[in-house]
A and B are shown apart, each in its own frame.
Chain A
Amino acid sequence: MDPILVKLALGGMAVLGCIGLFFGIGLALAAHKFAVEVNPKIEEVKEILAGAQ
């Protein structure tokens, strides 16, 4: 195969991987920083309820 194309494909994978990793870490940090405390009792009560509706 054409080495230029191989280079392009590998470079593309690396670049897109970096972008994905960067934004993924960013989102994870944001989710951690802006975490909203949810009352754990809500989940417990939901578990106990029948849940038909």
Chain B
Amino acid sequence: MRELRRYYLCVGLLLIWGLLLAGCGKEHRFVTKHTFKGTNNIVISFAAPVDESWARDSANYAVYEKSDPDILLKITGVTLSTDKKTVTLTFEDELNQQQHHILLMKEIMSGGRSQGTAIVTAKKLYFGYLLSILLGAMLIQNFVFTKYLGLCVFFGTSQKKSTAIGMGITFTIVMIFSSMMSWFLYQYVLKPFRLDFLQIVVFIGLVSLSVQAVDTILRKVNPLLFKAFGVFLVLVIANCIILAVPLILANNEYNAWESLMLATGAGTGFLIALFLMSSVRERLEIANIPPTYRGLPIAFVVAGLFALAFMGFSGMSIF
């Protein structure tokens, strides 16, 4: 019985792993690599030598930024390497490498036969991109200090360091759990059935579902941790960051890894915000504050100052 359970667990984990890998798999069987090079070049590698007449014709390529499909970027030159496997496209203007670029190649001809039309996305180095999503959600666009989300829980649980850390960790766990689930449901159920207008309803249900599930399982599996989480677990439902993240994931069409990074970043960003705020508020307890400002008003002032400090990160790009 025990062996069987372990077997199920292994199969489940393998399935999840495969799904995650599928998120960053290859986009076309014939196009092996496509990256930015310099300020206005894109390099495309093919699996086999392509025909010179096809490769030299710049009308066979169409490149545009993912957000503006109407504006085709002007290609000034196409160079083919000596082994005919690599094509370098040169553009008139500098490429904005923060944006994903869609590359469309019509009817790739190789050895006189067509390999089909390829539509691939050129983006920057993948791990750097993932890290920039993580740090972006954590610091540069911290949900509390730059988007002013989740303030009720933020002010409610930042009076003591211990509660702040407890809330932050609980929140991060539930956040990762629920946003991965809602990403899956959005991509594989809501979108194919054209029900994306119901996303808010579904996401609210999923958040409360994951909170309830964590509550039930933790109560039995680890009662000590459950006691430490206490009331925070229920409070997570009342937080709007946990609803904002799935909506952002759905809007930006992130894949599994990117969603994981954004959820982790948002969770740890909230943890950082709570920790900073509670450190300050513990000191405010012993400070001599005018009676009108005591309690929440001074907390709002402090939060504003933190938001100002976090503005220093704005506009930064890491990679």
| A27 partner residues in chain B, CB cutoff 8 A | 209, 212-213, 216
CB-CB contacts below 8 Å: B194-223 with A: 194-195, 198, 201-202, 205, 209, 212-213, 216-217, 219-221, 223
Q: Which of A12, A19, A20, A34 sits near B220, CB closer than 8 Å?
A: A34
Q: Which of B185, B193, B198, B219 sits near A34, CB closer than 8 Å?
A: B219
B189 lies within 8 A of chain A by Cβ: yes
A16 lies within 8 A of chain B by Cβ: yes
Count the B residues whose beta carbon is within 8 Å of the partner chain — how many? 18
CB-CB contacts below 8 Å: A13-41 with B: 15-16, 19-20, 23, 26-27, 30-31, 34-36
Instruction: Contact check, B193 vs A11: say whether CB atoms are below 8 A apart.
Output: yes
Q: How far is B217's CA from A30's CA once the two chains are assembled, in angstroms?
A: 7
| A26 partner residues in chain B, CB cutoff 8 A | 213
Q: How far is B198's CA from A30's CA once the two chains are assembled, in angstroms?
A: 27
Q: How far is B201's CA from A12's CA once the two chains are assembled, in angstroms?
A: 12
Minimum CB distance partner of B181 in chain A: A23
| B220 partner residues in chain A, CB cutoff 8 A | 34-36
Instruction: Contact check, B213 vs A30: say whether CB atoms are below 8 A apart.
Output: yes
Q: How far is B220's CA from A53's CA once the two chains are assembled, in angstroms?
A: 29
Least Cβ distance of B209 to chain A in Å? Answer: 5
* Range, interface on chain A: 10 to 19
| B193 partner residues in chain A, CB cutoff 8 A | 11-12, 15
Minimum CB distance partner of B190 in chain A: A15
Least Cβ distance of A48 to chain B in Å? Answer: 26
Instruction: Contact check, A36 vs B219: say whether CB atoms are below 8 A apart.
Output: yes
* B205, B216, B219, B223 pick with most chain A CB within 10 angstroms: B216
Minimum CB distance partner of A30 in chain B: B216
Q: Which of B202, B212, B217 sits near A16, CB closer than 8 Å?
A: B202
CB-CB contacts below 8 Å: B165-201 with A: 185, 189, 193-195, 198, 201
Q: How far is B211's CA from A27's CA once the two chains are assembled, in angstroms?
A: 11
Given A36-B219, A36-B220, are A19 and B189 also a contact pair (CB < 8 Å)? yes
A49 lies within 8 A of chain B by Cβ: no
A8 lies within 8 A of chain B by Cβ: yes
Instruction: Contact check, B198 vs A12: say whether CB atoms are below 8 A apart.
Output: yes
| A36 partner residues in chain B, CB cutoff 8 A | 219-220, 223
Q: 6 other contacts beyond A15-B195, A19-B185, A31-B216, with CB at 8 A cut-off?
A: A8-B195, A16-B202, A23-B205, A27-B213, A34-B220, A36-B219
**B contact set with A: CB distance below 8 Å:** 185, 189, 193-195, 198, 201-202, 205, 209, 212-213, 216-217, 219-221, 223
Which 3 pairs, one residue from A and one from B, show the smallest C-beta to C-beta distance? A34-B220, A12-B195, A30-B216
List 18 A-B pairs, Cβ < 8 Å: A8-B194, A11-B193, A15-B189, A15-B193, A15-B195, A16-B195, A16-B201, A23-B205, A23-B209, A27-B209, A27-B212, A27-B216, A30-B216, A34-B216, A34-B217, A36-B219, A36-B220, A36-B223
